[in-house]
Amino acid sequence: MNRKMLLYIVGTLLVLESVLLLVPALTGIIYRETVTWTFFLVSGICLAIGLPVRMHRPADTRFYAKEGYVCTALCWILMSLFGAIPLWLSGFYNNFVDALFEIVSGFTTTGATVLSNVEELPHCIILWRSFSHWIGGMGVLVFMLAVLPVSGESSMHLMRAESPGPQVGKLVPRVRESAALLYKLYIALTIAQIALMVMFGMPVFYAINVAFSTAGTGGFGFLNDSCGSFTAIQKILITIFMAAFGVNFNVYFWLYTGDVKSALHCEEARVYLGIILTSSLIIGFNILPMYQGAGGAFLDSFFQVSSIITTTGFSTADFDRWPELSRTILVGLMFIGACAGSTGGGIKVSRIIIMWKTILKEIAGIIHPRAVRLVRFEGEPVEHEVIRSVNVFVMAYLFLFAGSLLIVSLDNFDFTTNFASVACTINNVGPGLAAVGPTQNFGSFSNLSKIVYVIDMLAGRLELFPLLVLFNRNTWRGRQY
């Protein structure tokens, strides 16, 4: 274990977080809010701890898979612990566990909240919640790779540990350039959404918060009805951008470089958009009798499907009141999630495709035992190692889901509430059904359950294994090459 390099990266993260905390602090100054001091205080603490830790650059900057996973998990945990302190000190949260739940929900782009009235929050806290989505969406370590002195394959271990999906590669030969390009695309799309929202009548502060939450596919709202009171054109724009941020960013890279053919032939993106279209049409017709016109029904349908499959969590209607078919489809979309290499959560469309094709391959093998068949994805054969990793991921996912469901059942909520609460936290969705529906919150759960949800949210955002590696005693024994 390269502990010196690990400490250096953690120190750099704390310095970066001290800078990021100045964004809500400055917002508080603009609106003259008394809780602003909490952000300045924690910013100073992060700087005071981070600067000495990263003062000495280690001579050996090599990082391997185990260390990359450990570093990623530790950075996200520390980032959340320090990020929760301003919320806790503000007095708007009952205890530190509630504040931790809220900021983990922010950084992991989940969007679940313990608050029943978000409209009473100061502007600086509202912005910090939304900004945490934007920070966590692309990944803070991906941003740090652009400035950290981590070389070659070492930096790929960090990127793979933080980036969602079964396989992560470099867009360009150098990882630092890949990280920079990802953020350029991310920032460009965010600015585009802010501009369009303002153009169509949304106040600038609201537009910034909506864009931050949409870009990170998080879904923290600043109004109690989420997006219900927005205009039709504003809802349409949010729907488009939610779906756009759920696409693998490789597609935008191909478009950026003029490789339109590769972008159009991206199998995962085509399946993802096909799921959105099919699900939206089915739900639209299913809920049509509940609406006065088809326009409202299909607008809400497309909005909620895009919100759930991308794990954004915005809502324009109380979908918990929709017919059982529509609710069931939305729960299924929670598990499917967005594309790999996007800011969305869930199992990911690429894994679903690979698992489906593996099942078809096994069925064909039973019918024709001597035939040789390969699982192909994006036109290329899928290596056995990738199939194995997908299968292991799903097994670990199911074990964590079942364990979490068992523990939270101690609170004696109904099964729908328990199942939906675990599903929407481990998949980083936000709103669920029943007591955690779009008009409800997580405030009534015990601290034990909230800690379980915190673990689920972190595990879901980090693709399980970086967090699970921390609890393996062999992780901390020596150094593996």
Q: How far is CA 256 from CA 34, 245, 373, in A?
A: 44, 15, 35
CA atoms in the 13 A half-sphere facing the CB of 299 = 19
The terminus-to-terminus CA distance of the chain in angstroms comes to 9
In tens digits, the chain (481 residues) has pLDDT values of 667 878 888 898 999 999 999 999 999 999 999 999 999 999 999 999 999 988 877 766 666 677 778 888 888 999 999 999 999 999 999 999 999 999 999 999 999 999 999 999 999 999 999 999 999 888 776 666 655 545 445 555 555 555 555 554 445 445 567 777 888 889 999 999 999 999 999 999 999 999 999 999 998 989 999 999 999 999 999 999 999 999 988 898 888 888 888 888 899 999 999 999 999 999 999 999 999 999 999 999 999 999 999 999 999 999 999 999 999 999 999 999 999 888 888 999 999 999 999 999 999 888 888 877 888 888 888 888 888 889 999 999 999 999 999 999 999 999 999 999 999 999 999 899 999 999 899 999 999 999 999 999 999 988 888 888 887 777 766 554 4
- The C-alpha atoms of residue 384 and residue 369 are separated, in whole angstroms, by 18
153-197 pLDDT per residue, tens: 555 555 555 555 555 444 544 556 777 788 888 999 999 999 999
Is the Cβ–Cβ distance between 124 and 31 less than 8 Å? yes
pLDDT, residue 188, reads 93
Collapse the DSSP code of 376 into the 3-class scheme (helix H, G, I; strand E, B; otherwise coil) and give the result.
strand
Computed from CA positions of residues 398, 401, 406, 407, in that sequence, does the dihedral angle turn out positive or negative?
positive
* Environment class of 480 (CB within 10 Å of its CB; exposed 0-12, middle 13-18, buried 19+): exposed
Confirm if 377 and 369 have CB atoms less than 8 A apart. no
Contact (CB, 8 A) for 268 and 260: no
pLDDT of residue 112: 94
pLDDT tens profile 330-372: 999 999 999 988 888 899 999 999 999 999 999 988 888 887 7
Note the pLDDT of residue 158: 57
Q: According to DSSP H, which parts of 368-414 are helical?
A: 384-408
Give pTM, 2 decimals. 0.92
Do residues 79 and 107 touch, judged by C-beta distance below 8 A?
Answer: yes
∠ Cα 414 288 234 (to 5°)? 90
Give the residue among 417, 213, 193 at the shortest CA–CA distance from 311: 213
- Residue 323: how many other CB atoms lie within 10 Å: 12
Assign residue 57 a region (left: φ > 0; alpha: ψ between -120 and 50; beta: otherwise). Answer: beta
The predicted pLDDT at position 168 comes to 44
Of 449, 447, 446, 443, which is closest to residue 422 (Cα–Cα)?
449
Torsion of CA 239, 420, 459, 84, to 10 degrees: 80
Helix H or strand E encompassing 326: helix 324-336
CA dihedral over 22, 27, 29, 35, signed as positive or negative: negative
What DSSP line would sit under 118-178, residue for residue? GGGS-HHHHHHHHHHHHHHHH-HHHHHTTTS---HHHHHHHHHHHS-SS----SSSSHHHH
Cα-only R_g, the chain: 22
Distance CA 114, CA 22 (A): 24
Q: What is the DSSP string of 12-59?
A: HHHHHHHHHTHHHHHHHHHTT-TTHHHHHHHHHHHHHHHHHHTSS--S
